[in-house]
Structure 1
Amino acid sequence: MATRRNVPEKTISEAQGGPSTSAQISDTTPAVPAAVIYKLLGFTAAMICIPIGSYFLSVNTIFKGKSIRNASYAGAFAAILANVVLVAYIIVAMREDQSENIEAEAKRKKGQ
């Protein structure tokens, strides 16, 4: 059976005619913009707080009682609100994606 040998990757140093270390470009921009991370964190917090909060709020105020039926209604209400948060996140993500495409198209037309 053949074995694979790991061969180290060759780099071109300055002495061999490569670019100097100061001339090399270092791209330190984040892969994901900060606004996207903040939106994700906001919707994550909403996905946790809204269903749990709506359950306890509705079981004590709207459905008034500790019976199984009232708790089931409150749980269904919390599940519906969790789906509302999820759909809202999808809509925000789709609009963000469309706005990036519109901006790119506007820049392309401006450059022509």
Structure 2
Amino acid sequence: MATRRIISTEKTILDRDDDDISSAVPGQESSSTAPAVPMDVILKLLAFTFAMVVVPIGSYFLTVNTIFKGNSTYAGALAAIMANVVLVGYVIVAMNEDQSEQLEAKKKGAKKE
């Protein structure tokens, strides 16, 4: 069996830390510690997640005895419709946010020229 002998002064890739790797590549800056996803995006996702749980269940229990007089089929159908309304609302907000980012990028590109 042939094995590779590691010299004690030689560092393996496992022994290197971020400073050794970044200093090995000239011209590369250290990585940013900024979050990958902006906070407003996380808050929108949490708000729509909360709405996705509360709105259908709330609409079911609010309408089953008041509007539909105990008919749970109609109340369940309304809850399903309300879940779809929340879902479509999230898609619309996400698409508008994506379009606004593209417009900002175009404006920045036009100002540089």
How many equivalent residue pairs? 94
Q: What percent identity do the matched residue pairs reach? A: 61
1:12-65 deviations in whole A, cap 9, x for unaligned?
A: 84xxxx48xxxx634100000000000000000000000000000010110012
Match of 1:58 among 60, 63, 66: 63
Q: Which runs of 5+ in 1 are unaligned?
A: 1-7
Instruction: Give the whole-Å Cα distance in 2 for the aligned partners of 1:61 and 1:97.
Output: 40
Q: How far apart, in 1, do the equivalents of 2:35 and 2:99 lie?
A: 21
Partner Cα separation in structure 1 for residue 57 and residue 35 of structure 2:
33
Distance 2:108 2:31 in 1: 26
Q: 1: distance between equivalents of 2:107 and 2:75?
A: 48
TM-score (structure 1 length as normaliser): 0.77
Which residue pairs with 1:108 in the alignment?
109
Matches within 5 A, 1:85-100: 85-100=86-101
For the residue of structure 2 that corresponds to 1:28, the secondary structure is coil
Give the SS at the match of 2:109: helix
SS across alignment from 1:60: coil
Partner AA of 1:59 in structure 2: V
| Aligned-pair Cα RMSD in Å | 2.1
Match of 1:47 in 2: 52
Any gaps of 5 or more consecutive residues in structure 2?
1-11
Runs of 4+ aligned residues of structure 1 deviating over 6 Å after TM superposition are: none
What's 2:38 paired with?
Answer: 33
With normalisation by structure 2, the TM-score equals 0.76
